[in-house]
Amino acid sequence: MTDLRTKLYQMFILGLSGDNYNSVLKQGLGGIIFFTDDIYSEKQFKNLISSIKSAAKIPPFLSIDQEGGRVERTENIHEGKKYLSAKFACEKGEDFLTAQTQDIAKELKSYGINLNFAPCIDVNTNPDNPIIGERSFSSDADKVIECEKIVSDIYKKNGIIPCVKHFPGHGDADKDSHLTLPFIDLSLKEMEKVHIKPFKYAIKNGVPMVMAAHLYCSCFENTPIPTSLSKNALEYLRNNLGFEGVVISDDMVMKGVSAFGKIQACLMGINAGINLFIYRNSDDETINMIESIYDIAKNDKSLIEKIEYSYEKITDLKKEYIFDNI
């Protein structure tokens, strides 16, 4: 019987910065996210992943942001060779996109990565968008839908979990959610016509994970609450779009969400419907936050139910992609 503390730790993917990751892996940490500074060489990275797997109480998500272009975490290994970003890969055509994605999947699989936070399926409608740009396949929603299917299917066939992002669509933003909370003032009808459309089709295509953005969308909330903490937005994702997989937050240290306070933001996220959280650090502050959530949950029946629901979603996904491939 898995205890509540372990179930709660399964809801977190942490980065290596802070050096507590080994100790919390033994307590049931859900996964690890790797950044460029963690990866020096092929041998070093494989050894790092092997040591993490050995330390883990439960086989972990071993995750990365490997989109290509400016979001590519293994560039130290490549010695100058880079994958093309989504925009330029898309412009080269389906054959090129297919071949490049197969190369990325093969590389990630060789290291032991089992979760890639890609593809990025934002529709880049705002030319002044400071954070999406070439990370988007296109400003045309239908083209984004075509590319998502190619990329997600290749990852799934290679035993790597694809995660589409950033729901409900970051493409119309004019600010960077790493620095502030962007505001998207579009009606739900407008959002559905363009920005939500690729998520609708990705879900129909069976994508197993969706990342919620730190965006304030007026179609879901009357006050500045990020989608990642918005019960209205995440219930729409479940009930209207029919998503049954794992809902993950974007990095919770980003300014678009951190202003709510570490513990409060996490509680809001759990209550809204987030199943899995990313924190780029495994420092004392982050671990203390998780322990504080555990202390609160012990006496909160509703919170316990949400943690157990998320644990079931996470376990189901791991059974499909990870437990059988250890």
Burial class (CB in 10 A: 0-12, 13-18, 19+), 127: exposed
Question: Strand 71-72 vs strand 66-68: parallel, antiparallel, or unpaired?
Answer: antiparallel
Q: What is the pLDDT along the chain (326 residues), one digit of tens a residue?
A: 899 999 999 999 999 999 899 999 999 999 999 999 999 999 999 999 999 999 999 999 999 999 999 899 998 998 777 899 999 999 999 999 999 999 999 999 999 999 999 999 999 999 888 889 999 999 999 999 999 999 999 999 999 999 999 999 999 998 888 889 999 999 999 999 999 999 999 999 999 999 999 999 999 999 999 999 999 999 999 999 999 999 999 999 988 898 899 999 999 999 999 999 999 999 999 999 999 999 999 999 999 999 999 999 999 999 999 987 54
pLDDT of 295: 98
Q: Give the residue from 138, 152, 142 showing the smallest Cα distance to 87.
A: 138
pLDDT of 252: 95
pLDDT of 259: 83
**Can you tell me the distance from the alpha carbon of 252 to that of 165, in angstroms, rounded to the nearest whole number?**
15
Query: How much is the pTM?
Result: 0.97
Strand partners, 140: none
How confident is the model over 70-86, as pLDDT tens digits?
A: 899 998 998 777 899 99
Q: Give the residue from 197, 196, 118 showing the smallest Cα distance to 163.
A: 118
Burial class (CB in 10 A: 0-12, 13-18, 19+), 1: exposed
How confident is the model over 127-167, as pLDDT tens digits?
A: 888 889 999 999 999 999 999 999 999 999 999 999 999 99
pLDDT of 325: 57
